[in-house]
Amino acid sequence: MRVARVVSCKFTWENRTLLVSGSEFRHSLRANILRGHGFQVEVARDLAQARSLWRPNTYAWMLVDVLHQVPGEVLGFCEQVKHADPWQRMAFLVGPPRFVSLNWPEEGLPEAESSEELRKSARTLPRTA
């Protein structure tokens, strides 16, 4: 029988994450889940705050909630970040498991779930805080 090894996370830049999210409910939920997995999370409520927090070689991941941002501004910010730090890892968060089209923002995002459906799905997640 094989036993899985537990890997402990050390608080270094390798697990520092910048979470850009305009929704109080979503960013607190996401931040708590990430912290429960050993990540050090800093939250920016909008792209302006993200610009002031972000510095090259500071964050291992930058997670951007695209549902609460202007698409052109998100792409512009991400291009600025990639120009300043080509190795910066980033991901677009689009809500419940859905994917952004390769043609985004021209093609748009899939329809969002209602707030009540999001609350129901959040209640099923384990508490990590």
Residue 64 in 3-state DSSP?
A: strand
Please report, in angstroms and rounded to a whole number, the separation of the first and last CA atoms in the chain: 32
Residue 94 in 3-state DSSP?
A: coil
Number of Cβ within a 10 Å radius of residue 93:
18
Burial of 123 (0-12, 13-18, 19+ CB in 10 A): exposed
Q: What is the chain's mean pLDDT, rounded?
A: 76
Contact call for residues 37 and 9 (beta carbons, < 8 A): yes
Is 121 a residue whose pLDDT tops 80?
A: no
d(CA 50, CA 55): 10
Higher pLDDT, residue 114 or 101: 101
Q: What pLDDT is stored for residue 23 in this prediction?
A: 79
Q: Which domains does the chain show, CATH number per domain?
A: 13-102+112-123 (3.40.50.2300)
The token pair at 51 is: 């610009």
Alpha helices in the chain (DSSP H): 24-36, 47-53, 71-84, 115-123
d(CA 31, CA 18): 10
Give tens-digit pLDDT for 32-89: 988 988 899 999 999 999 999 999 999 999 999 888 788 789 889 999 999 999 999 9
Q: What pLDDT is stored for residue 63 in this prediction?
A: 93
